[in-house]
Amino acid sequence: MNDQPPAPPESEDDLAAAPPASAPDSPPASSPELLLAAVRPDEPMAEAVRKIMARQYRVMLANEKGCRGGKSMDAVHDMRVATRRLRVAFRLFGAYYKRGLVRELETDLRKTGRTLGAARDLDVFNSTARQYLRTQPKPQRGELDPLLASWKRQRQIAHRGLVDYFDSPRYRRFLEKLGDFLTTSGAGVASQRAAPAPYQVRHLLASTVWARYEAVRAYEVILPAAAATDLHALRIECKYLRYTLEFFQEVLGDGAPALIRQVIAVQDHLGEIQDADVASRLLAEYLAKAFKAQAAASGGELADLDGVTRYLSYRRDHARQMTAAFPPVWKQIDSPKFRRRLAAVTASL
């Protein structure tokens, strides 16, 4: 899971680069086919990022039907990831476009992501709990039934909220505005600076990649005593590095896929820690409410909460184990070898 709960500690203003120069003025041309072309090293960064975002926009549209159906976990996951990638693209490269337009689109992307996240997070919690139950003796496999029933009700509510949002005028206007922006060359580009300021992909991408790596590497000084919030923040920085490499993989050197796989390994490990931490908090909240309700009950059969208590202990132990196992995983990207390979792929520009 990535967006919520809890809200990620992101500072969007700090991540935006200073506005670069854009391509020489030319009349906007609206063409979906125009944006199907590959990213080129010699094109304006603003237009390259537009192509990258257009690909994610198409993924969003392709998965809406599956999300509406309410039964496809993959559709919700894929649409949420596409929404997240669009948000990251705007966060990292939004300075290439007019500020007001970026702010408006980011607001709607955030709303879309959180609405999808309300359903997706419950899918993940449910799936992880069921995996845990399959490892337990058969007589104990029903011990999380009260918890799973509660999550099922919440998931149904989240799905209704998602469909209502898809049907809202706000969402339809957002899709239209985003689609127009992504299929119109030159639309919304920030004012260019006087030549010879850099504006092409090959002028800007190497420094962008290294800035993202430097933001990740900065965590090496706090990792020995890092709290869960620190690890979550590191995971976000890894996500930014990963997405930057993936967005521009076609113009980087042949070594890019291997670098991306290493960053994913670190991000996934941190994701397991975050998932276990969030699940532990939710389980503790559930138990607190359940015990309070039982104390207030005047009669009737009380639910057996021992299984949920054991599952909470399991999730907390898993978070501790994954945290202890993180240092060797971290060394995959915090090493001279990784930096040499990163330099090699950016040198190809």
Cβ–Cβ under 8 Å, residues 125 and 151:
yes
Residue 188's Cα: distance from chain center in Å?
A: 25
Q: What's the pLDDT at 207?
A: 97
d(CA 328, CA 333) in angstroms, rounded, equals 10
pLDDT of residue 294: 81
Return d(Cα 10, Cα 13) in angstroms, integer. Answer: 9
Task: List the one residue out of 11, 32, 331, 1 whose CA is nearest residue 185.
Answer: 32
Query: What does pTM read for this prediction?
Result: 0.86
- 238 forms beta bridges with none
**H or E element, residue 82:** helix 73-93
pLDDT along the chain (349 residues), means of 10: 38 38 47 71 96 96 95 94 97 96 97 96 94 94 92 95 98 97 94 84 97 98 94 97 97 95 98 95 93 75 82 96 96 97 94
Q: Given this model, what pLDDT does residue 68 score?
A: 96
Burial of 55 from C-beta contacts in 10 A (0-12 / 13-18 / 19+): middle
70: left (phi over 0), alpha (psi -120 to 50) or beta: left
C-beta separation of 11 from 171 below 8 A: no
- pLDDT for residue 49: 97
Write out the DSSP string of 205-262. HHHHHHHHHHHHHGGGGTGGG--HHHHHHHHHHHHHHHHHHHHTGGGS-TTHHHHHHH
What local confidence, expressed as pLDDT, does residue 7 receive? 35
Residues 6+ positions from 319 with CB-CB distance below 8 Å: 228, 273, 276, 277, 280
